[in-house]
Structure 1
Amino acid sequence: MECQKCKKVLSKKGAHFMCQGSCQGTFHRSCVKGLAADMKAGKNRIYCNNCEDEGSDEEEVEEEVQDLEKILKDIQKKVSAIPGLKKHLDTIQQSISVLSDKYDTLLFEHEESKGKISKLEKTVANINNRCVYLEKYNIALEQKLQDAEQQSLKQNLEIVGVEYIPGEKLREIVTKIGDEIGVKSNDIEWVKRNIQAKKENKPSSIMVGFKPSGIESREEWLVNRRKLIELNSSVFTGGSATNKVYINENLTKATKTLLWNAKRQLKGTYKYIWVTNGKILAKKKDGDNTIWIRSEIELGQLSK
């Protein structure tokens, strides 16, 4: 018997390697490559070098078959899930359809709302414009009423600072004041205390009304009122009070308030602030134009 590899005769007593592969050949142990190393490592070698390669190919084929079977199982598993996925997709599609309908409804309602909002904005703008107009109209009307009220007082004067003494004779006191400043009292129609305007710790003012024909006489009183600067209440009443006495135009409550605010707000900015014929006038300095302050709005503009 000869070696399948080297073709030399095999000894009858020697140890040989018999391949269990397809060749079923007998080999010298030295002719089987790697056999010694496998035996030393304790591995049980059953194939020769040629059959070992064939065995590897078979193993690879077997592994490929196993891989294919595994892939096939995965495919079958995934294919079996397709009906469920289709059902799930149908559900999703229905939900999307419902959402789409709702979105269309919302979009339509949104467009409707935009139209309504636009109309409301125009309505509000018209109302605002109307309110601004009415506000200006009311201010103008209020101004006319105040002017008319002030005009009704153009024949009156107000004397401030005269002490009240029980049993006083106002007519005589006013006549004394007129004599002191060099004006006549013949055109005076009535004299009375303004009880409603009494201030704390101060005597109420004396209101003096002139006849319709006594307008010029009233103006003389106003022109000469500065002559009272050195005189006080006791000169005219014989009382103990030494209040300074002033002659002013008879102003409405609104005009008095506006005058007081003007003096407070324009102090330091306007040199002159005074009243003539019920009109509050102001001037920043000598040589400037005179400004007529008609309302709190105009006063606010001047303050800025």
Structure 2
Amino acid sequence: MDGISWRCSDCRGVDANTRGSLVSAVGGPSPPTTRSFAAARENAGRGDLIAALDGIHSELKAIKDQQSLFSSSINFCSDKISDFEDKLNRINEWMRATDRILRQNADIKASVSSLDSRLSELEQSARSRNIEIQGILEKSNENLIEVVKKIAEYIDIDVNQNEIEHVHRIKPKQSDKTKIKSIIVEFRSRKIKEDFLAKSKQRRMRGDKGSSKMNIPGLSECFFVNEHLTLANKILYKEARSVAKTKLFKYVWVKNGMIFLRQDDSSRIIHVKSLNALGDL
């Protein structure tokens, strides 16, 4: 048929250029032998195979290079992960140690707070027979026993010298030279101390000319008789009075070294043990 050429089975597996070379090799247009075509096809197939193998080898080399680079990257990342894990483990150890320290610190703070409270109680208990007199000017060669007797006479209570264990002045905690030194009186019994405080309160309540100030001519124009509180309790008492004024509490007082609050006559009595307790009011 027009436009269609026929080739034998040997020539069908060989491209046109190879056929032409084979025809030229045999000297003219006579068709090549079957053996020649087979050899040519074998050579051509071998060349293609070698070329294919070279290509595969190149690709394999590239893959191997990439694999080597990838392996190096993996090893680098693995080392970094190992370092990170080590650091993370150390951080976890530090956190656990920090937690232990925080718990120990909390326990220590609680113990210290408890010890401070206990120490304050012991200090206050040691002053259970003491009163503190404020506002009496210090004089040279003064006789504090006589001062206490004058105050006892003023508040209408009998106190003889044998009932007084010790009396002395104390320096103010603040470095103020103008501040008057308080007089500390230690009685032989707690009952005498309680009676002295009660009489002082009664005398103050019926102050001269409606004044709540107590004054003795030639001794003091204004003095106060209070329980001998520790420094911590003095601070607490001061804060309690401030809170009572702000929150309209009617009563604030000290009894046996303890501080109490009461909002009105019908409300419950509140024993103030700490500054935190004042904040909860």
Smaller-chain TM-score range?
0.5 to 0.7
Name 2:107's counterpart in structure 1.
133
- Residue by residue, what CA displacement relative to the aligned partner does 1:188-246 show, whole Å, maximum 9, x if unpaired? 222222234585544221111101xx2211111111112044364442xx15x52x211
Give the Å deviation of 1:285: 3.0
Point out where structure 2 has 5 or more consecutive residues left out of the alignment: 1-53
1:197–1:205 CA contact under 8 A, matched in 2: no
Name 1:118's counterpart in structure 2.
92
Aligned length: 217
Q: Using the alignment, how far apart are the partners of 1:178 and 1:234 within structure 2? A: 11
| Structure having greater relative contact order (Cα 8 Å, sep ≥ 6) | 2
Name 1:195's counterpart in structure 2.
171
Structure 1 or 2, whichever has the larger Rg, is 1
User: Which of 194, 197, 206 is the matching residue for 1:219?
Assistant: 194
| TM-score, normalising length: structure 1 | 0.62
Percent pairwise identity: 26
Give the Å deviation of 1:91: 4.0
Point out where structure 1 has 5 or more consecutive residues left out of the alignment: 1-79
Question: Mean Cα displacement is larger for which, 289-298 or 124-133?
Answer: 289-298
Q: For 1:25-64, what aligned pairs fall within 5 Å after superposition? A: none
Give the Å deviation of 1:88: 6.0
Give the Å deviation of 1:261: 2.4
User: Which of 260, 264, 268 is the matching residue for 1:281?
Assistant: 260
Q: Using the alignment, how far apart are the partners of 1:294 and 1:247 within structure 2? A: 22
Name 1:205's counterpart in structure 2.
182
Distance 1:105 1:272, change over 3 A: same
2:244–2:251 CA contact under 8 A, matched in 1: no
What SS class does the counterpart of residue 166 from structure 1 fall into? coil
| TM-score, normalising length: structure 2 | 0.67
Q: Using the alignment, how far apart are the partners of 1:179 and 1:135 within structure 2? A: 49
AA aligned to 1:125 is D
AA aligned to 2:262 is K
AA aligned to 1:210 is F
Name 1:167's counterpart in structure 2.
141
1:163–1:233 CA contact under 8 A, matched in 2: no
Name 1:263's counterpart in structure 2.
241
What SS class does the counterpart of residue 226 from structure 2 fall into? strand
2:154–2:216 CA contact under 8 A, matched in 1: no
Q: Using the alignment, how far apart are the partners of 1:158 and 1:121 within structure 2? A: 52
Name 1:74's counterpart in structure 2.
none
AA aligned to 1:245 is F
Name 2:223's counterpart in structure 1.
245
- Pairing 1:177–2:151 present: yes
Q: Using the alignment, how far apart are the partners of 1:109 and 1:195 within structure 2? A: 64
Question: Mean Cα displacement is larger for which, 175-184 or 192-201?
Answer: 192-201
- Pairing 1:155–2:134 present: no
What SS class does the counterpart of residue 264 from structure 2 fall into? coil
Distance 1:100 1:112, change over 3 A: same
Question: How large is the RMSD of aligned CA atoms in angstroms?
Answer: 2.8
